[in-house]
Amino acid sequence: MSLVWLVLTPFLGAALVAAVARLGRSHAAWAAGAVTLLALAWLLPLIPTAFAGSTVLQRVGWLPSAGVDLVFRLDGLGLLFALLILGIGLLVILYARYYLSPRDSMGRFYASLLLFMGAMLGVVLSENLIQLLVFWELTSLASFLLISYWQHRADARNGARMALAVTGAGGLALLAGFLLLGEMVGSYELSALLAAGDVIRAHPFYVPMLALVLLGAFTKSAQFPFHFWLPHAMAAPTPVSAYLHSATMVKAGVFLLARLFPALSGTPEWFWLVTGAGLATLLVGAFTALFKHDLKGLLAYSTISHLGLITALFGIGTPLAAVAGVFHIINHATFKAGLFMAAGIIDHECGTRDMRRINGLWRYMPHTATLAMVAAAAMAGVPLFNGFLSKEMFFAEAVGVSATLAWGWLLPVAVTAAGLFAVAYSLRFIHDVFFNGEPIDLPRTPHEPPRWMKVPVEILVVLCLLVGIFPAQTVEPLLSVAAAGVLQAPTPAHDLAIWHGFSPALWMSLIALVGGVLVYVGRRPLFDLYERRIEPHLDAKAIYEYLLGRLFAFARRLTGWLDTGSLPRLLGLFFLFALILGAAGLASDTVPLTGARALLPVDGISLLATLGLIAAALATVVLHRQRFTALILIGAVGLTVALIFIKFSAPDLALTQLSVEVVTIVLLLLALYFLPQESPAESGTPRRLGDGVLALAAGTGAGLLAWAVLTRPYQTIAGYFLDNSLTGGGGSNVVNVILVDFRGFDTLGEITVLALAGLGIYAMLEHLRLPGPARDPQGRPWDADRHPAIMASFTRLLLPLALLVSLFIFLRGHNLPGGGFIAGLITAVALIMQYLANGVAWTQVRLPGSNMHPLIAAGLAIATVTGLASFAFGHPFLTSTFGHVHWPLVGEFELASAMAFDLGVYLVVVGATLLILIHLGAMHTASHEAPSPTKGDN
Amino acid sequence: MLSLVIPIAFALVGLALALTLWRLLVGPSPADRILALDTLYVNTIALLVLLGIHLESALYFEAALLIALMGFVGTVALCKYLLRGDIIE
């Protein structure tokens, strides 16, 4: 279970941090740090097992009926990544405490950061591919929040959107690839997948699957040509960049390559696709980085280039290349995190990141300068720094693989060129920023940052040096176990030494070093060339925006074609197609329309009621322009429908219909007051005739369908509920038992929606004041008597009676027609009656707690707590129980836990209905005297 | 006795329903229609109680009770609208 908790801790911690942030800025940082340490504590006991070379698998049943489990896996590779994520995460948390300005929200920052951390841990520790993909998408979402942290800046929003679009599209491709992969092997679990490499590689769908998986990995790891989102993600705060672009986000892509290495690698397709993309990225990134004037831009392209290097290593596919790939993942994470933090310090102290203005900082911040220079030397691949070691392994692998290829000599040349540019841009980072004259027109005078802001950089730089000088004593054990995790086989013999003799790789390093210095010295013509010839023509962002624009235009055209915004048109199309489909079924089928069931006898009253219903419905259609008349007629239609419900033994439905009917009338009357009394004729006669024919045909079709169904003996699910309602739910009213027990979860959802709808209407109406008409529709002045005395006195007498009816309906609901919903409506109507007859002011004064929000909240809370209470007894959510008690006088009385749930339903219905109606009524200011209803209600 | 009375009562209530429905449809004034709807409620209550006596069942009583309560509120609201426009003030 510890792996589950390890992944869950940051997610839970995110909520904690957001809450703690209210106490103070440092509290949030401390809490985030504590959460990360706690996660590390979950990991620690497992480290010896992982180092012993065994794989830890932990499984939690999630949806056992669907065969879906949460499975976590810790092997060498997972361990390495978990350590990087947590370790660098901890340093970033410390650094960000000093980086963020007092205007920035600490809670939001650290909560998003922890969300991201949890998602990343989920990616690297998942055993199941689908589960991995869920966390993968979570990293995309969390990174969106982090990149757009400064929401007021357009570049942050655009950069975040671009990153989400590119990595999200890749995630979709990845899902498709994973599904193919799962189908090939018959399992989504890595243990099975990694052992089935031969099956996968021989499968006819290998190439499409590989392409889809690689699309996912390449978009995430910013491989050419999907690299363009990464520089734009630099609009994020620098701690975010230091985290996302060193150890986490972009490393998820190369993690995937490493994770699936045993299953997918070893084919020519793998070699060409992965090495090809990696090399292109390596070259494009290294070349472009030199010309970026923005400090973070340079680092961004350098990151792209190093990711290309790692990808190329995995593409080469030999075990030693994989070892080198893992090694470079570690090295790049340490020096790049340090460099981003140093860049953040410089930005923080100078107020700009433009290297044409930042010069000669050595004099102002020698300490930071030393740290940055060490990290930059590691980035360049200078001996004695960690970057040198893995880069030399890369050179050696490139030379090794070149012998097997036609035109193979191009490969060492290309990687040497990339190395050369890496030296050049690293040199530019050092020379331009810390030397090269004096600062030009800086917004602030730079000085050393606070002590603790430098500590994370110091730790990282020390690591760079330690690994660079004593590789065998420091990084070797971790590297070896991680590489074994990648290969799923013992790590091949490798020698982590600085000196390997005069190998080709050494000469390549030398050429890169010397050549890099020369390129930097002679950079002026190169800059001219780049700025005039290359930059204006090569803008991936422009292509992306062009494609996005086309996509939006296409979507708009399609939507505009389907939906012109005309409801009659949409409904007409809908009914037309339903009619065509239904008629086709009716015409082609040999089954007769009328089924075998005997018809029920018709009695005179039912016939009369039906004719009345038809007449009232027709009259509503004919008179629908006179809105008030139509409303009265609808009232008659509703009443007749309730009668039909009673006739066909659905008393619950009838009671609900009757209560809803009157609430609807009140609601419509409230709205009608502000509306024209007659609707204008908007369509011509031909249109109306056509619509009429269509409506008649659709009605006839629905009637025929009902006829066909009702005349057949038909097995419904009602039997199950009738059999189990009393024994399982403790109530003999099946409708109510379904609502509060069998389908209690649905009801909980529905009352939540009702509560939200009530609050939504409240929010919309809160400050809305509309002028009402001064005269009635006939032009007469309104009656002067607001609350006729007889009516007022009479309704006051009615209130207790109505409440008694409501209580009666509520209590009997479990066994006889009734229940919380109907009782809630009756109570609401009883109270509305007082508002109608006695006015808002009179009622508000006498109604205790006329603010409906606590009532709604209490209802939701009672329903939820009733559901949760079943957990305490070891049953699933909302399991109900019941018992019988013998009360004096009353006699045998049944108590069911569902009744508490029903009480929740009751309170929500009362609260939401009153909230909506009263606030609709309060929109009209002119007729209201103090105290105003909103005053008591807020 | 009941076997004789109940059919007669059903016929009379049915006639009343038909007549109220007629008034509801032809109006002509809104007040006529509100009154017709209110009478329709009263007739329906009679019909339901009659049905309960006929079938010797108490199940229809709650519906009749609710129509009595709700019909009253509906009529009050409609009348208030005619008098004042703003029904909750």
Per-residue 3-state assignment (H helix, E strand, C coil) for A239-285: HHHHHHCCCCHHHHHHHHHHHCHHHHCCCHHHHHHHHHHHHHHHHHH
Domain segments of chain A as ranges: 1-266, 268-521, 602-673, 733-773+785-938
Which helix H or strand E contains A12, and what residues bound it? helix A2-20
3-state secondary structure of A647: helix
Pick from A654, A772, A805: CB nearest B69: A805
Strands A56-63 and A68-74: antiparallel
Q: Can you tell me the distance from the alpha carbon of A121 to that of A137, in angstroms, rounded to the nearest whole number?
A: 13
- Distances in whole angstroms, Cα of residue A715 to Cα of each of A264, A470, A710: 52, 78, 11
| Separation CA A730–CA A728 (nearest Å) | 6
CB pair distance less than 8 Å for A628 and B17: no
Q: Which domains does chain B have, with CATH numbers?
A: 2-84 (1.10.287)
Per-residue pLDDT reduced to its tens digit, A341-389: 999 999 888 888 888 888 888 888 899 999 999 999 999 988 889 999 9
Which of B17, B27, B71 minimises the CB distance to A608? B17
pLDDT tens readout for residues A125-163: 999 999 999 999 999 999 999 999 999 999 999 999 999
Asked if residue A734 lies in contact with residue A818, where contact means CB atoms within 8 angstroms, the answer is no
CA distances for A387 relative to A131, A161, A414, angstroms: 34, 32, 18
Whether the pLDDT of residue A15 is over 80: the answer is yes
Nearest residue to A828 via CA among A857, A793, A799, A871: A799
* CB proximity under 8 Å: A 892-921 to B: 917-918, 920-921
Give chain A positions within 8 Å (CB) of B66. 655, 658-659, 805, 826
**pLDDT category of residue A845 using cuts at 50, 70 and 90:** confident
- Cross-chain Cβ contact B73/A643 below 8 Å: no
Look at residue A116 and give its three-state secondary structure. helix
* Minimum-distance CB partner of B37 among A632, A776, A917: A632
Report the pLDDT averaged over residues A884-901. 70
Q: List the single residue in A with minimal CA-CA distance to B21.
A: A612
Is the minimum CB–CB distance between A925 and chain B shorter than 8 Å? no
A934 three-state secondary structure: helix
B84, closest residue in chain A (CA to CA): A782
For residue A930, pLDDT over 50 is answered with: no
The verdict on a CB contact (< 8 Å) between A632 and B17 is: no
pLDDT at residue A117, as a whole number: 95
Phi, psi of A782 (to 5 degrees): -65, 155
Spell out the residues 6+ positions from residue A848 whose beta carbon is closer than 8 angstroms to its own: none
Coil, strand or helix at A175? helix
Q: In this predicted model, what pLDDT tens digit does every residue of A768-820 receive, in sequence order?
A: 888 878 788 888 888 888 888 988 998 999 999 999 999 999 988 877 888 88
Instruction: Work out the pLDDT band at A103, boundaries 50, 70, 90.
Output: confident
Q: Return the residue in A735, A811, A829, A920 with the most chain B beta carbons within 10 A, the one to mutate for interface testing.
A: A829
Write out chain B residues lying below 8 Å of A642, CB-based: 63, 67
pLDDT digits (tens, 9 = 90+) for A228-260: 899 989 989 999 999 998 888 899 999 999 999
Residues of A within 8 A of B55 (CB-CB) are none
Identify which has the larger pLDDT, A413 or A891.
A413
pLDDT of residue A68: 73
A884 backbone dihedrals φ, ψ, rounded to 5°: -115, 135
Instruction: Name the residue with tokens 């108490």.
Output: B58
Work out the burial of residue A790: count CB atoms within 10 Å of its CB; fewer than 13 is exposed, 13-18 middle, 19 or more buried. Answer: exposed
Does A802 reach chain B within 8 Å, measured CB to CB?
A: yes
B13: closest CA of chain A, how far (Å): 9
Residue A665's Cα: distance from chain center in Å?
40
* CA separation for the pair A820, A804 (Å, rounded): 14
Q: How far is CA A716 from CA A652, A705, A722, A757, A785, in A?
A: 19, 17, 11, 33, 56
Q: Which are the contacts of A268, defined by CB distance < 8 A and separation ≥ 6?
A: none
Cβ-defined contact of B76 to A633 (cutoff 8 Å): no
Cα gap A244→A253, rounded to integer Å: 12
Answer whether B85 sits within 8 Å of A655, measured CB to CB.
no
Count CB-CB contacts under 10 A for residue A556: 10
Other C-beta atoms lying within 10 Å of the C-beta of residue A464: 24
Q: How far is CA A314 from the centre of its chain?
A: 31
In B, which residues are within 8 Å of A641 by CB distance?
Answer: none
pLDDT-derived band at A925 (thresholds 50, 70, 90) equals: low
Q: Using DSSP, state whether A58 is helix, strand or coil.
A: strand
3-state secondary structure of A60: strand
B59 contacts on A by Cβ (under 8 Å): 651, 817
What pLDDT sits at residue A931?
40
Task: Kindly report the nearest CA distance between residue B70 and chain A, in angstroms.
Answer: 6
Q: Which residues 779-798 of chain A have a CB within 8 Å of chain B?
A: 782-783, 785-786, 791, 795, 798
Q: Which residue of chain A has the CA closest to B40?
A: A636
Tell if the CB–CB gap between A633 and B14 is shorter than 8 Å.
no
> Burial of A589 by CB count in 10 Å (0-12 exposed, 13-18 middle, 19+ buried)?
exposed
Contacts of A817 in chain B (CB under 8 A): 59, 62
Nearest to B67 among A612, A658, A918 (CB): A658
Place of tokens 């190395």: A419
Chain B residue numbers with beta carbons less than 8 Å from the beta carbon of A792 are none
d(CA A830, CA A809): 14
Nearest to B74 among A635, A672, A785 (CB): A635
Chain B contact for A629 (CB, 8 A cutoff):
yes
What proportion of chain A, given as a percentage, has pLDDT over 70?
Answer: 96
Element (H, E) at B52: helix B30-55
Q: Which residue of A has its CA nearest to B69?
A: A802
H helices of B56-84, in order, are 61-84
The shortest C-alpha distance from B22 to chain A (Å) reads: 9
Minimal CA separation from B33 to chain A, in Å = 7
Contact A176, A211 (CB under 8 A): no
Give the closest residue to A922 by CA, choosing from A670, A630, A582, A589: A670
What is the nearest CA distance from B8 to chain A, expressed in angstroms?
12
Q: Closest Cα to residue B72, out of A662, A655, A742?
A: A662
**Among A52, A124, A116, A51, which residue's Cα sits nearest to residue A81?**
A124
The answer to whether residues A852 and A858 touch, using CB atoms and an 8 Å cutoff, is no
Q: What are the tens digits of pLDDT across the range B8-27?
A: 999 999 999 999 999 999 98
pLDDT at residue A538 greater than cutoff 80: no
Which of A669, A782, A811 would best serve as a mutation to test chain B binding (most B beta carbons within 10 A)? A669
Q: CB-hemisphere CA count at 13 Å for A77?
A: 31
Q: Which chain A residue lies closest to B77 (C-alpha atoms)?
A: A666
Q: pLDDT band for position A890 (50/70/90)?
A: low
Residue A851: which residues within 8 A CB-CB, separation 6 or more? Answer: A936, A937, A938
The ipTM estimated for the assembled molecules is 0.96
- The CA distance from A831 to A615, in Å, is 33
In this structure, what token pair is assigned to residue A892?
């045998």
* Distance separating alpha carbons of residues A328 and A479, to the nearest angstrom: 10
Averaged pLDDT score across all residues of chain A: 88
Q: Is the peptide bond before A888 cis (omega within 30 degrees of 0)?
A: no
Please give the C-alpha separations between residue A628 and each of A64, A532, A773, A836, B23, in angstroms, as whole numbers: 57, 74, 15, 18, 16
